[in-house]
């Protein structure tokens, strides 16, 4: 096949094409593609624990924990809490999860879906089209409850059809919530209700065997005269004893009930919330664990009539969703609505349980994220749960919560909730990893606090310094709260700006205060802009600092105020050098230290870019008029700036052109954005999710053509899932991207710009120089000496038996060579090469000259030389000379023609001169060559003269 010219495309017509505008823009995000979610562990749906024992295993059974992530599920390995699988996202939220061998079953909407190794293999659908709330695997059957609690559906899994086999309709006034199979009960299940009643059903005959009323479940036989108000059953579990189950109620009451005798054996009660989960210990100790909606876990001694053994206060920061004892081990697994799964170890029945291992994330939506370091693999995230977390982009197991000290011991000593002792929510984060191995490297400001706290990522905890911004202020002056913080690029100093207009600087190593900066009184330009009178002129102490940064060389400190000014301070002299007045007040500021570009978010829904060297506004980026700007982020090369606002749109602006190049709307508002230092990911947080979402930068993997878009061309994008995009989908997306995102071809370079101009082959000059000097190169590359024969035979050669030492040299079997005959010699002599065939075709049709020369240009210099040497016949030489003449007259491939005719004349000059017809062709070629060479020299002389005139004129 003929190779096309590199990076060029030949037009079918030499007429100039008009620029055509694209018909429509793609309705998908052009720049960012959903990648994956971070920090999602579990939600309010109870987990499912599966234990597997293997023959010869010495470490005990393997534990698998199946948790719900909303619209997908995650399978964890219980030994190290490592993530094994993440299921694909479904359309409706998952309401129940069950494992059956290697299969995972999940209820989503009106369907129950079966997965194998994370891939969907089958699904069962509710013919009523109503959502399913709960289901269990009962042998070869699947039992499911509808969301309204009025029906129980039964599927037979042993058949291939898997059609609905039976439907059980409950009586009015009985709203089923859960199903439980008592041990050793054949074809019978217990169904708990929202009214506090319980029923025993035979699945095979679809009949109700017995009904347990709420009063029976909550009353001892000796207290039958006592009645209580109905309470929904929220937990139902099997005990190690046959016929005995544990029943938990919304009122906080726990009943240990004998189903066969229909009597209540024990009664326990938990304060501060209803019962969410129950679990009996199965390693020989009669202990019942219960969990409440307030996050407490209680242990009850059943041998002592239900005496309370231990109470773990604040085991979870939210309601506990599930409890499960590991079979045969003193380990209790719990999960809560605080997005965590924990394992508790009980070293003895009387010892206080301790936390063994856990996986957790934010249990409140994070509102502030920043990348830590220069490799783009770590994130610092702050949330309303009053925590600061270190999140790894590479591996979830490396993520952790930054320690705030021994809060558990303090909470136990003071009898206070653990959450009340944590620091207030973080409002500002700044970090510098330059001196991270020497001292603290992160600063945080907290809501309604006058102090700034330092953190050390290396030690995973709060630092040793707490900087108080009100220590050096005068006693009568008002003490403001810290609004923003900044760590210098060198990592030696930390700055904090307060609501009183003061800026303080401390040494990060010693914690000593070094300098102070004051913004001073309000400028007259601000008063004129707002229209205030001299009597209502704001004081210096009323000018709150909203943004604070320092440059890369510690020459200037820049601060923005709430009244709309940008103040430039000298870093060393602490003097105010310049004040820039903005059209509106400023709420946020970010500096790209490498380029010196300062982005200021103003209240008129615009981002103004300021060059800190010239101290002038260089760009104004308008972000619509529907929502306040929440956060901004620079790309590492300072070319883009990403803006998120209250209208749920994430916009990307191209700073050199000042144009909006990408915008997409997310299902919920993005509260914070951060751009990776390596330009590969964009991280976002949202108001309704506890996870951190990563978006892949498509321009890192494919050429993306950017064009200015309007506010009407906003794409819709779904949030990334925990599983992330699969490999096949990602490749398809990139392939589609390469096709769709090519710019409109306004003008393509033709094969020849103009008929009067000379066009070269666009191939390297060394190609034709090598062809001209091929004989010299071959002589130079000849070996100096012939190959030497080895002196001694190798030791591994086999020898022949006998007295004399002889080697057994195997003679190669020579294939019988065919005898050459005169007929074969004649056929070989008459066969033509590819070049000869193309010469014959082009001689008949001159329009095929392009194919001929394209073939010659695709050959190597040695191959071209061999083809030219094969032109030995009269017809071949005549055809070649005619082709050379036609190519010269077409003004194409000028340097190739010169090299080819040089080689042909050097090889076949004697034959051409002896033949009169070839000599006539050669004389005609000489005339055309002189004419074209002279024309080329004239064009070069004209161009050189014009260039010299222009150079002298400048």
Q: What distance in Å separates the CA atoms of residue 759 and residue 405, rounded to the nearest whole number?
A: 77
Q: What is the C-alpha to C-alpha distance for residues 77 and 397, in angstroms, rounded to an integer?
A: 12
Q: Cβ(120)–Cβ(85) under 8 Å? A: no
Taking 90 as the threshold, does the pLDDT of residue 559 lie above it? yes
83-87, 153-157, 217-221, 428-432: which has the minimum mean pLDDT? 217-221
* Fold observed for domain 46-54+61-169: Methylamine Dehydrogenase; Chain H (2.130.10)
CB 909: neighbour CB atoms within 10 A? 11
pLDDT of residue 23: 36
* Continuous segment of H or E residues that includes residue 168: strand 164-169
Task: Give CA angle at 465 (432, 401), nearest 5°.
Answer: 65
* Of 354 and 761, more confident: 354
Confidence of residue 699 (pLDDT cuts 50, 70, 90): confident
pLDDT at 2 over 60: no
Does pLDDT of 695 surpass 50?
yes
Could you give the C-alpha distances from 304 to 220, 267, 507, in angstroms and in order?
A: 17, 12, 60
Closest CA to 508 of 569, 574, 453, 471: 453
Structure tokens at 789: 């024969």
Find the distance separating the first CA and the last CA of the chain, reported in whole Å.
Answer: 50
Q: What pLDDT digit, counting tens, does each position of 375-421 carry? A: 889 999 999 989 999 999 988 889 999 988 888 778 777 777 777 88
| HEC profile of 529-586 | HHCCCCCCCCCHHHCCEEEEEECCCCCEEEEEECCCEEEEEECCCCCEEEEEECCCCE
Residue 628 pLDDT exceeds 70: yes
Predicted confidence band at 179 (pLDDT cuts at 50, 70, 90)?
A: very high
Which tens digits make up the pLDDT trace of 700-709?
877 777 788 8
Residue with tokens 């952790």: 400
Parse the chain into domains and list their residue ranges. Answer: 46-54+61-169, 832-953
The token duo for 143 is: 């039992």
Q: At what angle do helices 765-772 and 861-869 cross, to 10 degrees?
A: 40
Quote the CA–CA distance of 698 and 684 in Å, as a whole number. Answer: 16
- CA-to-CA separations, 797 to 792, 793, 808, 810, 950, in angstroms, rounded: 11, 7, 7, 10, 79
Q: Rounded to whole angstroms, what are the CA distances from 596 to 223, 566, 600, 634?
A: 80, 15, 13, 12
- How high is the pLDDT of residue 524? 80
More confident residue, 342 or 527: 342
**Predicted local confidence at residue 601, as pLDDT:** 93
Task: Tally Cβ neighbours within 10 Å of residue 433.
Answer: 17
Distance (Å, whole) CA 739 – CA 65: 43
Alpha helices for 170-256 (secondary structure H): 214-217
What pLDDT is attached to residue 821?
A: 60
Residues 6+ apart with CB under 8 A from 791: none
CA angle 44-47-48, nearest 5°?
Answer: 160
Paired residues of 279 in beta bridges = 289
- pLDDT at residue 685 tops 90: yes
pLDDT at 819 (0 to 100): 55
pLDDT in tens, 305-348: 889 998 988 888 889 999 999 988 899 999 999 999 999 998 88
What does DSSP assign to residue 692? E
Token pair 């090299």: residue: 899
- What gap in Å lies between CA 142 and CA 726, rounded to an integer? 30
Mean of pLDDT values over 530-536: 55
pLDDT, one tens digit per residue, over 897-943 is 888 888 888 888 888 887 877 888 888 888 888 888 888 888 888 88
Q: What is the per-residue pLDDT for 808?
A: 66
Place of tokens 């919560």: 401
Q: Comparing 867 with 536, which gets the higher pLDDT? A: 867
pLDDT band at 806 (very low <50, low <70, confident <90, very high): low
Place of tokens 């599983």: 723
What DSSP state is assigned to residue 474? -
Q: From the CB of residue 512, how many other CB atoms can be counted at a distance below 10 Å? A: 9
Residues 6+ apart with CB under 8 A from 620: 606, 607, 608, 609, 658
Q: Return phi, psi of residue 484, to 5°.
A: -150, 155
Written in H, E and C, the secondary structure of 582-641 is CCCCEEEEEEECCCCEEEEEECCCEEEEEECCCCEEEEEEECCCCCCEEEEEECCCCCEE
Over range 127-140, report the average pLDDT.
90
pLDDT digits (tens, 9 = 90+) for 451-475: 999 999 999 999 988 988 776 555 5
Picking from 569, 547, 593, the residue whose alpha carbon sits closest to that of residue 427 is: 547
Q: Which two tokens stand for residue 218?
A: 């909550």
Give the residue-averaged pLDDT of 168-184.
92
| Secondary structure (DSSP) of 148-166 | TSSEEEEEESSSSS--EEE
Quick one: pLDDT at residue 306? 86
pLDDT of residue 862: 85
Query: For a pLDDT cut of 70, what percent of the chain falls above it?
Result: 85
Rounded to whole angstroms, the Cα distance separating 694 from 691 reads: 10
If you average pLDDT over residues 598-618, what whole number do you get? 92
Strands (E), 376-438: 378-383, 388-392, 400-401, 426-431
Q: Of the given ranges (109-123, 151-165, 254-268, 683-697), which has the lowest mean pLDDT?
A: 151-165
Query: What are the distances in angstroms from CA 622 to CA 47, 532, 713, 837, 867?
Result: 47, 27, 15, 66, 66
The pLDDT of residue 771 is 80
pLDDT at 815 over 70: no
Distance, in Å, from the CA atom of 118 to the CA atom of 72, rounded to the nearest integer, reads 10
Q: What is the pLDDT of residue 897?
A: 83
Place of tokens 């994330």: 361
Give 250-261 pLDDT, tens digit per residue.
989 999 999 998
569 contacts 557 by C-beta, under 8 angstroms: yes
What's this model's pTM, rounded to 2 decimal places? 0.74
Indicate left, alpha or beta for 814 from its phi (over 0: left) and psi (-120 to 50: alpha).
Answer: beta
State the pLDDT at residue 231: 86
Tokens of 854: 């394209």
pLDDT over 50 (residue 11): no
For helices 874-889 and 849-858, what crossing angle results, to 10°? 100
Mean pLDDT of all residues belonging to the chain: 83
Q: Looking at 612-754, which runs of residues are DSSP E strands? A: 616-622, 629-634, 640-645, 649-654, 659-665, 670-675, 681-686, 692-697, 715-716
Contact 191, 198 (CB under 8 A): yes
* Contact by Cβ (8 Å): 75, 88: no
Residue 233's pLDDT is 92
Cα separation, 274 vs 235, in Å, equals 10
319: its two tokens: 């309601």
Number of alpha carbons in the 13 Å side-chain half-sphere of residue 338: 25
């Amino acid at each position: 096949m003929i190779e096309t010219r590199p990076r060029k495309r030949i037009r079918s017509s030499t007429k100039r094409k008009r620029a055509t505008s694209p018909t429509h823009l793609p309705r998908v995000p052009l720049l960012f593609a959903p990648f994956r979610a971070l920090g999602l562990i579990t939600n309010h749906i109870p987990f499912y624990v599966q234990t597997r024992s293997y023959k010869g295993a010495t470490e005990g059974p393997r534990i698998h924990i199946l948790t719900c992530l909303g619209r997908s599920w995650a399978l964890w390995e219980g030994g190290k809490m490592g993530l094994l699988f993440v299921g694909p996202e479904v359309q409706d939220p998952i309401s129940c999860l069950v494992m059956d061998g290697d299969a995972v079953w999940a209820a989503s909407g009106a369907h129950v879906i079966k997965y194998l190794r994370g891939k969907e293999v089958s699904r069962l659908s509710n013919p009523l089209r109503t959502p399913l709330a709960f289901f269990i695997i009962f042998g070869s059957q699947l039992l499911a409850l509808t969301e309204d609690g009025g029906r129980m559906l039964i599927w037979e899994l042993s058949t291939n059809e898997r059609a609905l086999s039976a439907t059980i309709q409950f009586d009015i006034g009985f709203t089923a919530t859960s199903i439980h199979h008592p041990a050793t009960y054949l074809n019978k299940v217990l169904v708990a209700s929202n009214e506090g009643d319980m029923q025993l059903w035979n699945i095979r005959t679809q009949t109700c065997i017995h009904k347990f009323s709420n009063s029976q479940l909550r009353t001892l036989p000796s207290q039958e005269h006592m009645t209580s108000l109905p309470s929904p059953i929220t937990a139902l579990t099997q005990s190690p004893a046959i016929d005995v189950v544990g029943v938990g109620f919304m009122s906080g009451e726990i009943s240990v009930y004998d189903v066969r005798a229909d009597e209540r054996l024990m009664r326990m009660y938990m304060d501060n919330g209803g019962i969410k989960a129950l679990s009996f210990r199965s390693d020989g100790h009669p202990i019942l664990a219960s969990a409440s909606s307030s996050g407490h876990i209680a242990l009850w001694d059943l041998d002592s009539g239900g005496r309370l053994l231990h109470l773990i206060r604040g085991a979870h920061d939210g309601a506990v969703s599930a409890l499960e004892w590991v079979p045969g081990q003193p380990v209790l697994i719990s999960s809560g609505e605080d997005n965590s799964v924990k394992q508790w170890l009980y070293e003895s029945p009387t010892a206080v349980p301790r936390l063994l291992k856990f996986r957790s994330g934010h249990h409140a939506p994070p509102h502030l994220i920043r990348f830590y370091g220069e490799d783009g693999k770590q994130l610092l995230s702050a949330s309303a749960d009053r925590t600061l977390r270190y999140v790894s982009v590479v591996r979830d197991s490396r993520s952790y919560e930054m320690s705030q000290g021994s809060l558990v011991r303090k909470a136990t000593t003071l009898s206070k909730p653990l959450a009340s002792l944590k620091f207030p929510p973080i409002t500002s984060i700044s970090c510098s990893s330059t001196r991270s191995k020497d001292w603290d490297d992160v600063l945080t400001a907290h809501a309604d606090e006058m102090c700034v706290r330092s953190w050390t990522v290396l030690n995973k905890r709060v630092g040793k310094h707490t900087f108080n911004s009100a220590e050096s202020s005068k006693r009568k002056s008002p003490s403001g709260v810290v609004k923003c913080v900044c760590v210098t690029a060198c990592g030696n100093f930390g700055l904090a700006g307060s609501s009183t207009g003061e800026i303080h600087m401390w040494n990060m190593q010693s914690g000593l205060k070094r300098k102070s900066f004051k913004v001073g009184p309000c400028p007259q330009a601000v008063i004129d802009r707002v229209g205030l009178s001299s009597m209502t002129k704001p004081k210096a102490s009323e000018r709150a600092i909203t943004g604070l940064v320092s440059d890369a060389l510690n020459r200037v400190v820049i601060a923005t105020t709430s009244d709309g000014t940008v103040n430039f301070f000298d870093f060393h002299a602490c003097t105010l050098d310049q004040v820039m007045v903005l059209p509106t007040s400023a709420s946020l500021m970010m500096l790209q230290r490498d380029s010196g570009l300062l982005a200021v978010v103003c209240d008129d829904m615009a981002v103004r870019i300021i060059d800190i060297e010239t101290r002038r506004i260089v760009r104004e980026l308008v972000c619509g008029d529907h929502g306040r700007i929440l956060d901004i982020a620079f790309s590492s090369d300072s070319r883009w700036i990403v803006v998120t606002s209250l209208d749920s749109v994430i916009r990307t602006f191209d700073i050199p052109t000042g144009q909006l190049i990408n915008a997409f709307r997310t299902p919920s508002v993005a509260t914070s954005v951060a751009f990776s230092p390596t330009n590969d990911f964009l991280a976002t947080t949202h108001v309704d999710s506890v996870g951190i979402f990563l978006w892949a930068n498509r321009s890192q993997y494919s050429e993306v053509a950017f064009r200015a878009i309007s506010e009407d061309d906003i794409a819709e994008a779904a949030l990334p899932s925990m599983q992330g995009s699969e490999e096949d989908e990602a490749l398809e997306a990139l392939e589609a991207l390469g096709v769709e995102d090519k710019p409109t071809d306004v003008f393509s370079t033709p094969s020849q710009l103009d008929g009067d101009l000379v066009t070269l082959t666009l191939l390297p000059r060394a190609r034709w120089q090598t062809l001209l000097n091929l004989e010299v190169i071959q002589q130079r590359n000849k070996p100096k000496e012939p190959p030497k024969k080895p002196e001694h035979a190798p030791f591994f050669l086999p020898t022949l038996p006998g007295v004399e030492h002889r080697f057994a040299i195997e003679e190669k079997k020579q294939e019988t060579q065919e005898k050459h005959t005169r007929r074969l010699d004649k056929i070989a002599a008459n066969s033509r090469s590819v070049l000869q065939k193309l010469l014959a075709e082009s001689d008949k049709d001159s329009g095929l000259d392009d194919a001929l020369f394209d073939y010659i240009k695709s050959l190597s210099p040695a191959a071209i030389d061999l083809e030219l040497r094969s032109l030995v016949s009269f017809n071949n030489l005549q055809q070649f000379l005619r082709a050379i003449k036609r190519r010269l007259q077409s003004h194409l491939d000028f340097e190739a023609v010169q090299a080819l005719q040089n080689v042909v004349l050097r090889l076949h000059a004697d034959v051409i001169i002896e033949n009169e017809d070839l000599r006539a062709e050669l004389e005609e070629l000489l005339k055309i060559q002189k004419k074209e060479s002279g024309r080329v020299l004239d064009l070069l002389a004209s161009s050189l003269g014009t260039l010299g005139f222009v150079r002298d004129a400048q």
